[in-house]
Amino acid sequence: MKADLIILIPEITLLVTTCFVLIIDAFSKDVSRKTTYWAAQLSLLITLIMLFYYNPNEAYTAFNDVFIADTMSTTLKVFICAISFVVFFYSYEYLKENESLKGEYFILGLFAVLGMMIMSSAYHLLSVYLGIELLSLSLYAMVAMQRKSKFSTEAAIKYFVLGALASGILLYGVSMIYGLTGSLQLTNIAEMIDSSNINKPYLVYGMIFIIVGVAFKLGAAPFHMWVPDVYQGAPTSVTLFISSAPKIAAFAVTARILVDGLFPLIEDWQSILSLLAILSMGVGNIIAISQKNIKRMLAYSTIAHVGYLFLGLIAGTPFGFSGSMFYVISYSLMTMGAFGMIILLGINDLEAEKIDDFKGLIVRNSWFAFIMLCLMFSMAGVPPFLGFWAKWFVIKELIASGFIILGVAAVFFSIIGAYYYLRIVKLMYFDKPDTMRAIKASQQMRAVLTINGLLILVVGLKPGPLMDICLSAF
């Protein structure tokens, strides 16, 4: 029991510090919520320290193999906490500027991070469900925080209803797998599928329900209908949070279930993921072209990126899985910077939600026009930016595994997707601005956003260290 608790120290630390943040916020008379904000950031820093201090050299399981601490889980948790730290910073600047600061945002955010950490270490289908629901319930409440906004309320209702449906589908698949194998522990499920004479079609049915439930959470087509409305309707600070770290946790769950639990059914889930990947890349990239709202455009971009994320998993090799992990980390860094730019250009209630708001940014502020260029080029997959290597690694492993047609389709949709990213670059550099309003942002905001943008370029110039980290996880 003591050894089990030691493995869980980072999660226990975050839970305890989050409860302290909740108490601090409840008794705080600070209208600016600085105390709550710094307490939340301190919670993430302490959790990061615990993750480094209790970094396992090999895989350990706790509580009868319900929870696992290994290189993959620790790496993903470190990125989740680090990205959430920057997201909280951007969000505080946004909420302060819009005079809508509420301590609940940071408290719900910390509980969401806890859910993500549980998802990263889930080694049992019940702990998978526990982590997903802790994350989802926190996000539902965050989307609905602007009670006076009808768009925010509508987005929250859609998100909640479809999220509940996805949870039900996931649970139905879990119940089928449990009924057939007699276990919810992932490695036990894999052993039972390998060693027994279970009727394969029933196993595939259960697996399909589980994949559909996870695909809903990821926002993969054709289960993407909630993504554009939630991205557009939610406050930008919440959209920023939803679009970044939770994708890493969703990847962790997908990898755990498919690689550790359902690997004997690899041929079946490769076929399903191939269909989801093509639909996601097609729907996301094609529909994004017609969008005039940049948050909605980035929502369809997310759907497309989920399709690329699946490519490494479809490859079915450790290098492929590492490529998907590299992709989801790269995507989180890119989308975090993109939404940071939207926050930077907004002022009071005038958010820079329209693509036309980026017109002539080179005239207004040449440096941040360059930062946005780095982010857009990276998302489009232009070398030598980070996004190019993310796509290169997954497509290379996909083709090496024999999925040549799917690899060609991925390249084709990448070319289509480049259009709407480069359109923003064209607007920034070649169109006249609609306004010459000065960009009002703190020096801290400018510095962090600069680091975020340049990191995309620097890591792109030397992607080896990040790829080595991802390879060590598998």
| DSSP code string of 445-459 | HHHHHHHHHHHHHHH
The predicted model gives 438-442 an average pLDDT of 75
The confidence score (pLDDT) of residue 17 equals 95
The confidence score (pLDDT) of residue 178 equals 92
The confidence score (pLDDT) of residue 2 equals 63
pLDDT digits (tens, 9 = 90+) for 185-228: 999 998 888 887 777 888 899 999 999 999 998 889 888 888 99
- Locate the domains of the chain by residue range: 2-473
pLDDT digits (tens, 9 = 90+) for 346-404: 765 567 788 888 888 898 888 999 999 999 999 999 988 999 999 999 999 999 999 99
Strand partners, 62: 67
The predicted model gives 456-470 an average pLDDT of 92
The confidence score (pLDDT) of residue 100 equals 73
Largest CA distance in the chain: 71
The predicted model gives 407-427 an average pLDDT of 93
The confidence score (pLDDT) of residue 40 equals 94
Q: What is this structure's pTM? A: 0.94
DSSP code string of 118-140: HHHHB-BHHHHHHHHHHHHHHHH
Residue % of the chain over a pLDDT of 70: 97
Please, are residues 35 and 28 in contact by the beta-carbon 8 Å criterion?
yes
Q: Name, in order, each residue with C-beta under 8 angstroms of 240's C-beta and a sequence gap of 6 or more.
A: 87, 90, 91, 94, 336, 339, 340, 343
Q: Name, in order, each residue with C-beta under 8 angstroms of 27's C-beta and a sequence gap of 6 or more.
A: none
What mean pLDDT value characterizes the chain?
90
Q: How confident is the model at residue 442 (pLDDT cuts 50, 70, 90)?
A: confident
- Closest residue by Cα to residue 336 from 375, 299, 301: 375
The confidence score (pLDDT) of residue 21 equals 93
The confidence score (pLDDT) of residue 385 equals 92
Long-range Cβ contacts of 281-285 (<8 Å, 24+ apart) = 281/307, 281/308, 281/409, 281/410, 281/413, 281/417, 282/221, 282/307, 282/413, 283/221, 283/222, 283/224, 284/221, 284/224, 284/417, 285/413, 285/414, 285/416, 285/417, 285/420
Polymer length of the chain: 474
**Alpha carbon 425 to its chain's center:** 24
The predicted model gives 412-424 an average pLDDT of 92
The predicted model gives 434-461 an average pLDDT of 85
Q: How confident is the model at residue 345 (pLDDT cuts 50, 70, 90)?
A: confident
The confidence score (pLDDT) of residue 106 equals 93
Residues 168, 169, 175, 181, Cα dihedral to 10°: -160
Q: In the predicted model, is pLDDT for residue 28 greater than 90? A: no
Q: In the predicted model, is pLDDT for residue 152 greater than 90? A: no
The confidence score (pLDDT) of residue 114 equals 96
